[in-house]
Chains A and B, each alone.
Chain A
Amino acid sequence: MQLGELEKQVLQYLWETEVADAKQVYAYFEKRRGGSLSTIQSTLDRLFKKGLLKRDKQGHAFQYQAAIERDTFIGQLIKGLTSEFNADKGNSLLAAFTSVSPEFNEDQLERLEQIIEDQRDKNKSDGSV
């Protein structure tokens, strides 16, 4: 999915405003970047068709709101990049700093922390001798 600059800005606006109709979105962008109402309407329509917005008809106008929260959207993109690796190890185009298995637990982390401390103490005592 590719997003145009205006689409990105509109999505950003709706993440902050939560609900707005085309006129409200136009009023906001008219001051900042100009453009026409029909451009905003078609942008909203495109975002709706891409599944990023949902809309509700109230009277003659559609009320738009983000179909997905910003954090969830970004999270899903990152998850998509990493889960590709889950399904078929090797298709991932990224190298993550660290990631965890669902089975990983606090006890295991504490055990690793103990290993670090022990080794650090050992190094200190070796250095002081």
Chain B
Amino acid sequence: MILGKLAFYLNVFTVGVLSLWLSLIFIGITFRLSGSVLSTFTAKAKRRILWFIVLTPWLIAVIVTLVLMMPARLDSYANGFIATLVHWHHAYTFSLTSWHALTMALFSSVFIFGVIHRMLSVRKNLHRLDLLAQFSTTDDQASEILESNWLSTIESRLPQAFTAGLFQPRCYVTTGLRDSISTNEYTIIQLHEQAHRRRFDPLKKLLFAFFGSFFSRVIGEQLNVAMELAMEQCADEAVLNTGKEASAIAKTLLKVTRLTMAYTPKQASVQPACDFLTPQLDERVTYLMREQKGRAFPVLITSCLFVLVTVVCLLSVDTLHHVTEKFFIH
């Protein structure tokens, strides 16, 4: 049995973990039930909503922990209104053989495993990128469009264009793609990739995926796919804002897709790029061609949802605590 300050901090951690899990469940269910509404928003709003979804559980966990544990720290509030509603009894007592310790150990294991797994995966990915960079050359012709020569050309027949790298992202275009498209299409691709580079999308994707991985696997994947689409739509929109015609951008998308499809695995022993779900291209094209891009970020709805989930979590953590300790030994 641990007593005193250390016990208090361990209890804070436990409350934080419980609140996080509960808010992940509540937000996850909300997303599962209303995820289809996302397509009615602008790409920018979609990005914000998705960030709100993955970050809110963490913020709620902090708030719930503060509300539950503050009365224990501040004696004057100990008998106050909040403490009569919710409180964490035995704040200064922590048993290593209790369910609190089990919760803490479970979360720590999942968290550490998740971080290590992601770091290894990122390292592997960065090594591949490093090697690829060695076989690429800077495209001087692109300097007018991409500031500071951030475009590299890879000599390969595989038609591909992408932006990669975490802190210094670069845009890559293969010669196979560059030589099969017109100057205007090449410019559209460069502007699109530049938008990804300017926004540090690869890094943001990684961070988003990390926070998304705390949801269930199905919801995590849905969130990643939705963010991928929102990022692509934002990059398409950035090209649109430079004055390029929507139809020209959409047609370039279709042309590059056709080129990728024509490049069969037999020719190079590679599958055509990543498994970008079919509806993604559909949505990108229809979004580009739509005059009304959609609704703005729903401040009122998200604020209400935030308050509601925080209150539900606050009450649930306290209830869960009391119910568990009523039936089981602490």
Contacts and interface: CB of A to CB of B under 8 A. Distances in A.
A31 B39 CA distance: 62
Q: By CB atoms of chain B within 10 A, which of A74, A94, A96, A109 has the most? A: A94
Which A-B residue pairs are the 6 nearest by beta carbons?
A: A90-B209, A99-B273, A75-B270, A94-B164, A82-B274, A97-B161
B158 A71 contact: yes
Given A84-B125, A109-B257, A99 B274 contact: yes
A100 B132 contact: no
Nearest to B135: A74
Given A92-B205, A96-B274, 10 more contacts: A3-B134, A69-B268, A74-B155, A75-B270, A78-B160, A81-B164, A91-B206, A93-B165, A97-B256, A119-B289
Given A93-B126, A97-B192, A74 B121 contact: no
A8 interface: yes
A58 interface: no
A7 to B, nearest CB: 9
Interface residues of B, number: 76
Nearest to A103: B278
Nearest to A81: B128
Interface residues of A, number: 47
A83 to B, nearest CB: 7
Contacts of B225: 89
Contacts of A97: 160-162, 189, 192-193, 253, 256
Interface string A67-87: 001111011111111111110
Contact of A95 (B174, B196, B281): B196
Contacts, number: 199
Q: By CB atoms of chain B within 10 A, which of A74, A109, A112 has the most? A: A74
Contacts of B257: 98-100, 104, 109
Contact of B163 (A91, A94, A99): A94
Nearest to B278: A101
Contact of B202 (A78, A89, A93): A93
26 contacts: A8-B134, A70-B156, A71-B156, A76-B270, A78-B154, A78-B174, A79-B271, A81-B128, A81-B164, A84-B124, A89-B220, A93-B122, A94-B163, A94-B164, A95-B228, A95-B231, A97-B161, A97-B162, A98-B253, A100-B272, A102-B271, A108-B278, A108-B281, A115-B285, A116-B285, A119-B289
Nearest to A94: B164
Nearest to B196: A95
B268 A75 contact: yes
A119 B162 CA distance: 28
B261 A94 contact: no
B206 A93 contact: yes
A78 B205 CA distance: 18
Q: By CB atoms of chain A within 10 A, which of B124, B125, B246, B253 has the most? A: B125
B169 to A, nearest CB: 8
B45 interface: no
Contacts of A95: 162-164, 193, 196, 201-202, 205, 228, 231-232, 235
Nearest to B253: A98
A109 B284 CA distance: 13
A78 B158 contact: yes
A8 B135 contact: yes
B258 A79 contact: no
B316 interface: no
A92 B132 contact: no
Contact of B125 (A71, A92, A106, A119): A92
A76 B272 CA distance: 11
Q: By CB atoms of chain B within 10 A, which of A1, A98, A102 has the most? A: A98
